[in-house]
Amino acid sequence: MEVNPTLAKEVWIAQLTRNFYPDSSFLNYVKDFSGLVDNNAINMADVGLDPEVLINNTTYPIKVVQRVDKPIRIELDLFETENTLVRRPEVLEYSYDQLESVLMGHRNRLRARTAEKAAHAISPLEDTEFTPVISTDGDTTGKRRRMTVENILLLKERFDDANIPLEDRFLVLNPKHLSDLILFDVKAFKDITDIIDGKPKRFAGFNILQTSITPKYNSNTLEKVAFGVKEAVTDTFCSFAFQKEEVMKADGEVFMYAKENDPEERGTIVGFDKRFIALPIRNKALGAIVSTKVS
């Protein structure tokens, strides 16, 4: 069989992006603004205040309030993989299996880093009326207190008090918090994060998902720790929650770099760029349950 000496970059990119978000990923359940991306940025508006509603009004004319929308340009983050060297004789054939084996590492790392950045972005900065952050108060295990059912019910009540829509609420559990719930009631929670026909199971009004890359919070102040900083002794993990209409993601360009038949390396070198961003839309309808640290 004649070997094609040229890498078909469009094939590699298509394979990298196919099924990029696993069925269980919380990023499947946020609003997708990818269609608004232009030159790896989104141009949108910060919507002004909604109008007040008058009841049994007797005063006319009714007040006129102009809504002022502010234009916003959001640049998508750039995620870059380190390069992979494929030495001869492997580089001579680009069968599906070889293509997938090289792509797997790049796809997995891009998946993990984009999801990690997204989880951090759509978790609340601190405890407010519209972004409740609460602490776990269950039994002590090691150096933390376990999550309890009451913690989830309290988060539900805080969402209710803030008039967050009942529909499309999601709670993304850290695996340690899921273990806490299973220990509390194996029958009720052992399969709670299963996805059946594209639909998560529900508890206390939340669609339940799971991820291990939840952001860190300061256990004393309950403020979110900045992304990418070195972990401090006061840092602790969380589970986070959101309402679908209040968070977004956007995928931009995927680009492949390739140096074929490099004479020094005796092989082909490949690497990828991906543009992506995930953000809260109005910094509302976000929540977190933060593990309490104990001495």
**pLDDT tens, position by position, 3-54:** 344 567 888 888 888 889 988 899 999 999 999 999 999 987 666 667 888 8
Q: CA-CA distance, 148 to 158, in Å (whole number)?
A: 16
The structure's pTM equals 0.86
Asked, for residue 57, whether it belongs to a domain, the answer is no
pLDDT above 70 covers a percentage of the chain that reads 92
Cα distances (Å, whole numbers) of residue 53 to 50, 61, 62, 254:
9, 14, 11, 46
Asked, for residue 51, whether it belongs to a domain, the answer is no
Asked, for residue 72, whether it belongs to a domain, the answer is no
- Is the predicted pLDDT of residue 2 greater than 60, yes or no? no
Amino acid found at 283: N
Asked, for residue 36, whether it belongs to a domain, the answer is no
CATH number at residue 212: 3.90.1690
The distance of Cα 274 from the centroid of its chain, to the nearest Å, equals 15
- Is the predicted pLDDT of residue 134 greater than 90, yes or no? yes
Asked, for residue 58, whether it belongs to a domain, the answer is no
Asked, for residue 68, whether it belongs to a domain, the answer is no
Among all chains, which residue has been given the structure tokens 């102040």? Answer: 221
Question: Domain range spanning residue 82?
Answer: 1-29+78-295
Asked, for residue 23, whether it belongs to a domain, the answer is yes
Cα distances (Å, whole numbers) of residue 253 to 15, 211, 224:
14, 25, 30
Average pLDDT over residues 290-294: 96
Asked, for residue 66, whether it belongs to a domain, the answer is no
Which has the higher per-residue pLDDT, 263 or 227?
Answer: 227
Contacts of 2 by beta carbon, 8 Å cutoff, 6+ apart? none
Amino acid found at 57: N
pLDDT tens-digit series, residues 148-188: 999 999 999 999 999 999 999 999 999 999 999 999 999 99
Pairing of strands 31-32, 144-145: unpaired
Domain tally, the chain: 1
Q: What angle do CA 18, 244, 50 make, to 5 degrees?
A: 135
